[in-house]
Amino acid sequence: MSAEGRPDRTPVTTNDSYYGLPIVKEPAWQQPDVPLYLFLGGVAGVSASMAALARPLGRDALAKLGTVTAATGSVASLGALIHDLGRPARFLYMLRVFKPTSPLSVGSWILAPFSALASMSATSVLTGKFRTVGALAGAVAGILGPAMSTYTAVLLADTATPAWHEAYRELPVVFAGSAMTSAAGVALIALPKRDSAPVSRLAAVGATAELAAAHRLRTRLGIISETYRVGRAGSLLKAVEVLTGAGVALTATGRTSRIARALAGGAYLAAGLCTRFGVYAAGVASTRDPKYVVEPQRERRGRV
């Protein structure tokens, strides 16, 4: 190491990594494309189901808003997904096979028909034409809705990214809860007081589920929980708690002004965005330091 003429600066490797380099690759997806794809798909899914339920209950304004939100959100989600592809022109290759082992294949087969059906339904609602076809399309989209809001959690968990894979029990609850609060957020902003009670209830349920599951992410995953507590992910998930808490507090009384409803809705939507960007950031952080790969695997093999 200290030969003459050669600077003694070559780092001698340590026993727990190769020059501190990552072992697994950082997700090859882009930000904001993929976090937006996750967020928009979730909002669209719950909105479609909300619309499908609201229609027979006579809540026409809620049904119309849900239908339009589902169409807009899912088409935008699809757009974000296509934009993220290395070869966008080959998007349709996603539909050349159906592979249950690939959550992205399953997801494409959910997202593509969902966005088509939601768009048909929204077109019918906005133009007043083809009402039967539109209602039928809306109903099927409503059935696909809950899957839209949860398959993205499997998409992330089915990777070697430590913070995502080890969170496979919690992530679907986080994403479903967040999708409910976000969909309720759109309704709180756009609709009159008459419809605010049911959507506030929906938001409260979603918020409770999401915050409880997110708490588990920060505490139950051993060393990997660090990635949800510190850095960019830690800040974003802290913001989720504050924003979601504010939303619940603003709508808790049920007698809320238009401004309070809009603020609560805005807080819920911002929280939904922070959730997706936060979870994404935790995944990235867990790939950058090899200890999140090595230490849990060493423990598994009984050597510490």
Partner 1 sequence: MTSTGYSSPQARMGFFTDTSVCIGCKACEVACKEWNAVPAGDGPGTDAAAGMDLLGMSYDNTGGLDANTWRHVAFIEQHVPAAAEPSAPVQAGPATAEDLGMPTVGAPRQGDAQENAGVRWLMSSDVCKHCTHAACLDVCPTGALFRTEFDTVVVQEDICNGCGYCVPACPYGVIGKREGDGRAFKCTLCYDRLGSGLQPACATACPTESIQYGELDELRARAEARRRELHDAGVTEARLYGEDPDDGVGGDGAFFLLLDEPEVYGLPPDPVVTTRDLPAMWRMAALSAAGVVAALVGSLLGRR
Residues of span 89-148 touching partner 1 by CB under 8 A: 90-91, 93-94, 96-97, 99, 101-105, 108, 145-147
Task: Supply 83's token pair.
Answer: 């934009």
Q: State the minimum distance, in angstroms, from the CB of residue 20 to partner 1.
A: 10
Q: State the minimum distance, in angstroms, from the CB of residue 260 to partner 1.
A: 18
Residues of span 7-36 touching partner 1 by CB under 8 A: 9-13, 15-19, 21-29
- 223 in contact with partner 1 (CB under 8 A): no
C-alpha count within 13 angstroms, C-beta hemisphere, residue 242:
7
**Which of 68, 117, 125, 157 is the binder for partner 1 (CB under 8 A)?**
157
**Which of 61, 130, 136, 169 is the binder for partner 1 (CB under 8 A)?**
169
- 209 in contact with partner 1 (CB under 8 A): yes
CA distance 3 to 248: 67
Nearest to 157 by CA among 149, 148, 169: 169
Nearer to partner 1, 28 or 128 (CB): 28
Residues of span 174-203 touching partner 1 by CB under 8 A: 175-176, 179-180, 194, 197-199, 201-202
Amino acid symbol at 224: I
Residues of span 241-300 touching partner 1 by CB under 8 A: 283, 287, 290, 293-294, 297-298, 300
Amino acid symbol at 6: R
Nearer to partner 1, 59 or 276 (CB): 59
CA distance 161 to 168: 11
Residue pair 202/183 in contact by the 8 Å Cβ criterion: yes
Letter string b/e over residues 84-123, b meaning 16 or more CB atoms within 10 A of that residue's CB: beeeeeeeeebeeeeeeeebbbbbbbbbbbbbbbbbbbbb
CA distance 86 to 90: 9
**Which of 1, 132, 259, 304 is the binder for partner 1 (CB under 8 A)?**
1
Nearer to partner 1, 14 or 128 (CB): 14
Residue pair 223/229 in contact by the 8 Å Cβ criterion: no
Q: State the minimum distance, in angstroms, from the CB of residue 126 to partner 1.
A: 22
